[in-house]
Amino acid sequence: MNSRDLVWRKSSYSGNTNGDCVEVALSTETVSVRDTKARSAGELRVPAEAWQAFVSLHD
């Protein structure tokens, strides 16, 4: 899947400033993560199960 085909959302933990912001996009099998200041640099894709485990550690 191409990153242009994904629906990106800014993390609620990023706050309202234009500083350090992270966006995520969900697909059936993966979660893509990217930096809003460097969108053209690409994204990190991880299996959805791994992302869920990561997020559950930080709730």
Please write the tens of the pLDDT for every residue from 1-49: 666 789 999 877 776 666 678 899 999 899 999 998 888 899 999 999 9
pTM of the model as a whole? 0.77
Q: What is the DSSP string of 38-54?
A: GGGG--EEEEHHHHHHH
Domain count, the chain: 1
Per-residue confidence (pLDDT) for residue 11, from 0 to 100: 73
> Tokens for 29?
């099998």
Show the domain range for 20.
Answer: 3-57
pLDDT of residue 5: 82
Q: What pLDDT sits at residue 17?
A: 66
Number of residues that make up the chain: 59
